[in-house]
């Protein structure tokens, strides 16, 4: 039965990836405009990679605060090292390897493995939940116009989320416990995350998604000369938040591969100043930029680990 389930997951993944590649190839051939990369493009793509990596620092901060809330004492440097290296685990189907890598890298640096694993799950759920809200609010917008209707909708959304934070904190605690692999689950009475910390995390993640949106904007500028303007930023942010969070939700797709690209391509295609060719190029390069930057930073941080810390 397990083999059948694994086989079904790989079939679904192959089907989704095949469809997205076919759709992207068709859009690529529809446009008469062709993208050409030069030295300036390479510079913008490098800047995009740097901003993409910086965008994850709020996540590092929140994860470290969660560990501290449960008694862990990990330095920001060690938390960042484990966090960025853990990113590579998302390319393994199921995404649980992210938690395994992170917990393994901090268990001898001031935090017990089970605490690291469950707080990593909590951080990921909060990050992706915030991304889903941001993506739903911003991704469909073709032009950002601060009309009364849009302003009212945003205010109502913020009020509803703020009012629901205590419930959200408890729900995330329960889900995090259920999604933590192995024997890493603590008792329910041991997992208490203050509501104010969840609120601070959500605010930090809005900044994180905004930076990921800027990274996408730089990629679009590199391939299509799309202006780096504030008016375009909300759409970029929404596109990255929606595609990444929904890609994460699909467990059979490693790192959301295929799913993220399908959503990102759908949002970008037809936006002002972005033709089909540019949308495909930006979608592919966005994945390449994120993957290569994660490989590079992981190699640097993994090989420069400091001394281990013995838990008291």
Residue 266 lies in a domain: yes
Lowest mean pLDDT among 33-37, 260-264, 295-299: 33-37
Distance separating alpha carbons of residues 237 and 220, to the nearest angstrom: 13
Distance separating alpha carbons of residues 285 and 37, to the nearest angstrom: 11
Distance separating alpha carbons of residues 197 and 37, to the nearest angstrom: 44
Residue 123 lies in a domain: yes
Domain containing residue 90: 2-302
Q: What is the mean pLDDT of the chain?
A: 78
pLDDT tens digits, one per residue of 185-201: 444 445 667 778 888 99
Distance separating alpha carbons of residues 238 and 213, to the nearest angstrom: 7
Mean pLDDT to the nearest integer, 251-280: 82
The whole-number pLDDT of residue 215 equals: 97
The whole-number pLDDT of residue 40 equals: 84
Residue 221 lies in a domain: yes
Residue 187 lies in a domain: yes
Domain count, the chain: 1
Residue 308 lies in a domain: no
Greater confidence (187 vs 302) lies with 302
* Burial (0-12, 13-18, 19+ Cβ within 10 Å), 106: buried
- pLDDT exceeds cutoff 60 at 166: no
pLDDT tens digits, one per residue of 204-222: 999 999 999 999 999 999 9
Residue 309 lies in a domain: no
Residue 312 lies in a domain: no
Q: What is the pTM of this model?
A: 0.81
Complete DSSP assignment for 30-68: H-S------HHHHHHHHHHHHHHHHTTHHHHHHHHHHHH
Residue 152 lies in a domain: yes
């Amino acid at each position: 039965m397990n083999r059948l389930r694994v086989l079904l997951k790989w079939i679904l993944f192959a089907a989704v990836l095949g469809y997205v590649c076919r759709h992207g190839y068709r859009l690529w051939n529809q446009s008469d405009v062709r993208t050409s990369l030069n030295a300036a493009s390479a510079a913008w793509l490098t800047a995009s990679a740097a901003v993409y990596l910086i965008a994850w620092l709020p996540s590092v901060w929140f994860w470290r605060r969660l560990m501290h809330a449960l008694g862990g004492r990990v330095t920001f440097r060690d938390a960042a090292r484990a966090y960025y290296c853990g990113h590579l685990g998302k390319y393994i189907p199921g995404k649980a390897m992210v938690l395994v890598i992170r917990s393994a890298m901090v268990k001898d640096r001031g935090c017990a493995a089970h605490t690291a694993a469950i707080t990593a799950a909590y951080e990921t759920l909060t990050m992706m939940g915030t991304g889903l809200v941001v993506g739903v609010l911003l991704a469909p917008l073709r032009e950002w116009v601060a009309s009364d209707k849009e302003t009212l909708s945003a205010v109502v959304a913020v009020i509803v989320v703020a009012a629901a934070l205590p419930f959200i904190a408890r729900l995330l605690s329960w889900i995090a416990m259920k999604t933590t692999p192995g024997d890493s689950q603590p008792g329910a009475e041991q997992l208490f995350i203050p509501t104010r910390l969840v609120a601070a995390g959500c605010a930090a993640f809005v900044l994180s998604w905004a930076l990921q949106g800027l990274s996408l904007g730089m990629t679009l500028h590199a391939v299509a000369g799309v202006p780096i303007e504030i008016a375009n930023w909300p759409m970029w942010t929404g596109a990255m938040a929606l595609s990444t969070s929904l890609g994460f939700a699909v467990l059979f797709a490693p790192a959301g591969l295929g799913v993220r690209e399908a959503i990102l391509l759908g949002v970008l295609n037809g936006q002002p100043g972005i033709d089909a060719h540019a949308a495909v190029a930006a979608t592919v390069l966005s994945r390449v930029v994120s993957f290569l930057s994660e490989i590079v930073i992981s190699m640097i941080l993994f090989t420069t680990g400091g001394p281990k810390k013995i838990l008291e």
